[in-house]
Amino acid sequence: MFGGMRVALFATCLVDGLRPEVGRATARLVRRLGHEVVVPAAQTCCGQMHVNTGYPKQAAGLVANHVRAFAGADVVVTPSGSCAGAIRHQHEDVARRYGPPGLAGDAAAVAGRTYELSEFLVDVLGLTDVGAYYPHRVTYHPTCHSLRVLRVGDRPLRLLRAVGGLELVELPEAEQCCGFGGTFAVKNPGVSAAMLADKLAAIHATGAEYCTAGDASCLLHIWGGLSRAGSPASTVHLAEILASTTETEEAA
């Protein structure tokens, strides 16, 4: 519906440092849909970990950096429900309390132009079929912040249902948290592990080859558990599925 937008990609710190393939997939997908992708080099981290662990003052510098990095962007897209949620629901407040004058307004402006990937595709571009092809049995875990902070609803499922070759299987108790919770996983390791064990059992019950989600952080947690358990199942980010085409899959 829009032709040739200029999209600023916010990869997130976790994708930048540990899962670069998710950032590359997001860029490839958006370019394939006919839009220009820019990756502002000044981007680092949205500051969510600091805010949610009790360090909002320290997060203010990160918010300021994020706002500086994306001030010139028309549209910011990020492959993370959690980070998009932090930008939209925390940045302005942190900036007002702990940032320099004027930062709160600028943060609100950037937040207003920021979209999680499935929101961008469905709401901004008006697409559910992005021409992807991914011939695998896949189950979808709606991450808590996508579901209950951003309220992305069934957008990711609508995108997945339109993917060629993909067999979508329903995850039992899908809306239960996987137990990640950022620093919760190391501060409350026992409870986190108990929640993860139940999530892994649910994934195994589906017989899916892949568990997908819109957050690399939750997927890292789930992957860590699947890998340790020697599971045949693995994880794949929604962006990676949507970026796959008949060409990439046949090449693979």
Instruction: For 113-233, list the strands marked E by DSSP.
Output: 114-116, 137-140, 167-169, 210-213
Which residues 6+ apart lie within 8 Å of 41 measured at CB?
A: none
41 binds another protein (CB under 8 A): yes
* Residue 136 binds another protein, judged by CB under 8 A: no
Minimal distance, residue 243 CB to another protein, in Å: 13
Please report whether residue 20 would count as binding another protein according to CB under 8 A. Answer: yes
Cα–Cα distance between 211 and 77 in angstroms, integer? 22
Find the binder of another protein among 180, 206, 236, 240 (CB under 8 A): 180
53 binds another protein (CB under 8 A): yes
By the rule CB under 8 A, 145 interacts with another protein: yes
* Given 96, 133, 167, 184, the residue binding another protein (CB under 8 A): 184
Burial of 36 (C-beta count, 10 Å sphere; 0-12/13-18/19+): exposed
How far apart are CB 162 and another protein at their closest, in Å?
A: 26
Angle of helix 81-89 relative to helix 91-98, nearest 10 degrees, comes to 40
Closest CA to 74 of 109, 113, 128, 111: 113
Question: Which residues in 72-131 contact another protein (CB under 8 A)?
Answer: none
User: Which residues lie closer than 8 Å to 220 by C-beta, 6 or more apart?
Assistant: 14, 18, 19, 180, 235
Amino acid at 120: F
Stretch 211-250: interaction string toward another protein, x if CB under 8 A: ---------xx-xxx-xx----------------------
- 36: tokens are 């220009």
Q: Based on the shown chain and the rule CB under 8 A, indicate whether residue 176 belongs to the binding site for another protein.
A: yes
What's the closest the beta carbon of residue 210 comes to another protein, in angstroms? 16
Q: Does 62 bind another protein (CB under 8 A)?
A: yes
Cβ(18)–Cβ(12) below 8 Å? no
Binding residues (CB under 8 A) for another protein: these are 11, 13, 15-21, 23-24, 27, 39, 41-45, 47, 49-56, 58-59, 61-62, 64-65, 69, 144-145, 147-149, 175-177, 179-197, 220-221, 223-225, 227-228
